[in-house]
Structures are given as C-alpha cells and as structure tokens.
C-alpha cells in the first residue's frame, strides 16, 4: 500500500503504518491523519511530537498505558489520562497516534 503526499509515493504496510520511518514529515502526518478522519489540532501535534521524542529515546512505540503515564509526567495530569487521549485519537491513542507519528505499531496493539 502507499499514500501520495506532495507528488511523492510513500510506502505503507497493509495497516497504513509507514514502511520507512524516515519518510515521515508533518505533511505525511497530515495525510495519514486525514485517512484516519482525525482533524489535527495543536493538542494532536503535541501528542504526535511527544511520541516521536519517546521513540527517538527508547526505540519503541509505547503501549497505551505507558503512553498515558509518560504524557501525564511530561504534559500534566489533565492530558495524561485515557479519556483525553481517546478524545484526540478515537481508534486508540497508542495505535492511531503512532501511525500518524510515522512510528511502528506499538507492541500489544491488536
């Protein structure tokens, strides 16, 4: 599978995750978000950028429980809870947000 972004073909796997993490940029993220029916706001970008930093540091995409805890620590308790994250990413904060962030599917996600 693939998506078209600014005249470039970006390869994705059968679930829509990037094959090459280096293909990611904000335009690619916006295209994936559109496919996912997610209207990107500054709050969405905050989570996406957090995930990319987390991945750079730990080389793993966090599962939802780890994500929730880590966001709470860094961005505050009002953002570090499942309700807030599911409002932003209704198909699963870890799974959907990682896809938009250009990261691999988190371990433990079905």
Q: What is the pLDDT of residues 100-110, one digit of tens each?
A: 999 998 866 55
Judge whether 109 counts as a catalytic residue.
yes
Active-site residue identified among 44, 45, 109, 110? 109
Contact 5, 31 (CB under 8 A): yes
Which pLDDT band holds residue 40 (cuts at 50, 70, 90)?
Answer: very high
Which pLDDT band holds residue 84 (cuts at 50, 70, 90)?
Answer: very high
Q: What is the pLDDT of residues 1-21, one digit of tens each?
A: 899 999 999 999 999 999 999
pTM: 0.92
**In the prediction, which pLDDT does 38 show?**
97
Q: What is the pLDDT of residues 43-69, one digit of tens each?
A: 999 999 999 999 999 999 988 888 999
Tokens of 109: 């996600």
Contact 43, 15 (CB under 8 A): no
Calculated CA dihedral for residues 28, 30, 32, 35, nearest 10 degrees: -140
**In the prediction, which pLDDT does 108 show?**
61
């Amino acid at each position: 599978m693939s998506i078209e972004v600014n005249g470039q073909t970006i390869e994705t796997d059968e679930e829509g995750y990037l094959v090459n993490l280096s293909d990611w940029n904000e335009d690619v993220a916006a295209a994936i978000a559109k496919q996912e029916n997610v209207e990107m706001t500054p709050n969405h970008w905050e989570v996406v950028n957090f995930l990319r930093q987390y991945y750079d540091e730990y080389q793993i995409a966090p599962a939802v429980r780890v994500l929730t805890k880590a966001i709470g620590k860094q961005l505050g308790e009002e953002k570090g809870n499942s309700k807030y994250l599911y409002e932003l990413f209704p198909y699963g904060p870890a799974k959907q947000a990682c896809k938009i962030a250009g990261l691999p599917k988190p371990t433990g996600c079905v």
